[in-house]
């Protein structure tokens, strides 16, 4: 059974370690420390172990933006990513939620589409030869309304 909760100092090293395992670098360490301290990180727990996390902030033209979503490789395809995004959707106070991913990241694209996100545009030149796809979802509004 998995649970999602806001990250605290007690989760910080696990978040950093998971990011290192997936990314292969500690380049985001300061960003993750600052994000946990601001209350912008939510973790998925398997008992007491962090198996995934999401970072969200109001940095995209004043709208909530999922900046980073990481799931431990051994726990992928178990709805962890979906649970993290759904937890954010329940907590944001606006109708719009944005995220983005590289064109090469087909698993994240599939997750976004399965959760009802729509492509909203592309950003070229962030990662050479791998455009960023921006996704948008309207929260709290049912289809057809």
Which CATH number fits the domain that encloses residue 44? 3.40.630.30
3-class DSSP assignment, residue 87: helix
Q: How many domains does the chain have?
A: 1
Instruction: Please tell me the predicted confidence (pLDDT) of residue 144.
Output: 46
Write down the mean pLDDT value for the chain: 93
Give this prediction's pTM: 0.92
- Least Cα distance to 41 among 76, 75, 8 occurs for 8
Looking at the domain assignment, is residue 118 inside a domain? yes
- Helix runs in the chain, H state only: 9-23, 29-37, 80-91, 106-114
Looking at the domain assignment, is residue 144 inside a domain? no
Range of the domain at 95: 2-138
pLDDT band at 11; cut points 50, 70, 90: very high
């Amino acid at each position: 059974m998995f649970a999602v909760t806001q990250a605290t100092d007690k989760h910080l090293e696990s978040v950093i370690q998971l990011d290192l395992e997936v990314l292969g670098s500690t380049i985001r360490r300061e960003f993750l420390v600052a994000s946990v301290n601001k209350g912008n990180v939510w973790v998925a727990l398997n008992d007491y172990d962090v198996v995934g996390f999401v970072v969200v902030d109001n940095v995209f033209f004043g709208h909530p933006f999922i900046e980073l979503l990481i799931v431990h490789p051994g726990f992928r395809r178990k709805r962890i990513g979906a649970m993290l995004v759904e937890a954010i959707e329940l907590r944001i106070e606006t109708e719009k939620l944005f995220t983005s991913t590289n064109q090469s990241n087909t698993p994240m694209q599939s997750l976004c589409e399965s959760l009802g996100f729509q492509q909203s545009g592309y950003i070229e030149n962030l990662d050479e030869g791998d455009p960023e796809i921006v996704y948008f979802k309207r929260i709290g509004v049912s289809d057809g309304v």
